Amino acid sequence: MRVIARRHGASYTVCEVMLDQFLVALSKRQKTKHFLEIDPDEPPVGGQLMGAEPEQFSAGAMKLVEAGFDIIDVNFGCPVKKVLGRCRGGFHLSQPAVAIEILRRTRDIVPDHIPVTVKMRRGMDDTAESRDAFFEILDGAMDAGLAAATVHGRTVKQRYIGPSRWEFLTDVKQHVGDRLRILGSGDLFSAADCLRMLEQTGIDGVTVARGAIGNPWIFSQARALASGDPLPPPPTLHEQARVIQEHVDLCERTYTPERALILMRKHCIKYSQSHPNHEAVRQDLARVRERAAFDAALERHYGTDGPGRYVPDDYHRK
């Protein structure tokens, strides 16, 4: 997915988050080598990690450096329950001293030419104490010499329920000024959303997450709007088929043909949203178990070219 995003205009991508202790123990075995694999088309690409202990965190960061990642991203934003229960991810927003120590140790061990960034939510919850802790960590990030912070407009307890508070991003950018680049996250499901967040908040950039799954065209569309050009038309059926085929081919190369279609199922369901007959396409692609059946379904629904559609605005907002 990182390769597909880069080929469609993403400025850079970030790998899936990995545990520091997993990284420290990771070998180059065939079964796990893909975790640190970087495609020639990817750079710049960021390596993302999370953990609980400052010492092990910095050791994990070095494994990402050694693997060739161009940016090291510290995750203080993951809201998953089992992650929080093990004092990782978003849990660190409740303990500023430990969070700042992790950022300092990571920045100290990572070579100077490699940027270190942090991913945060706006706090554990909506209390004043949580807000104070957020800004204490943000100030610590600036003192430690981090290059940027990605800020999600929801709290950890909120997870993905309810709207992302973009006005909080405005407060964050006003707080840091030019001392730190702020990237915004949350409720970015169209190119127009990306531009609207930039205009409303004054932040330096946006990071698209769920909105890019099955819709890599969001990056080229956002670039066009940012340049003052009209919104490009949605991809045609042949354009969609080419990208889906490309994504499956890349997945087979990385994970083996046997696993590829299983792993691609969720992506294909998302891709189907750009097809006018999306419900039938979704059901067909979700059922395939072997490459021949997949190719047949692709030919059945995308063999004849025609106009696609923009992903409906309410698709992600249900």
Q: Contact 204/182 with Cβ under 8 angstroms?
A: yes
Q: Any known ligand binding at 21?
A: no
Q: Catalytic: which of 15, 78, 194, 268? A: 78
Q: Any known ligand binding at 223?
A: no
Q: Any known ligand binding at 275?
A: no
Q: Contact 288/253 with Cβ under 8 angstroms?
A: no
**251 in catalytic set:** no
Q: Any known ligand binding at 8?
A: no
Q: Any known ligand binding at 175?
A: no
| Catalytic residue list | 78
Which residues define the annotated binding site? 48, 119, 152, 209-210
Binding-site positions for FMN read: 48, 119, 152, 209-210
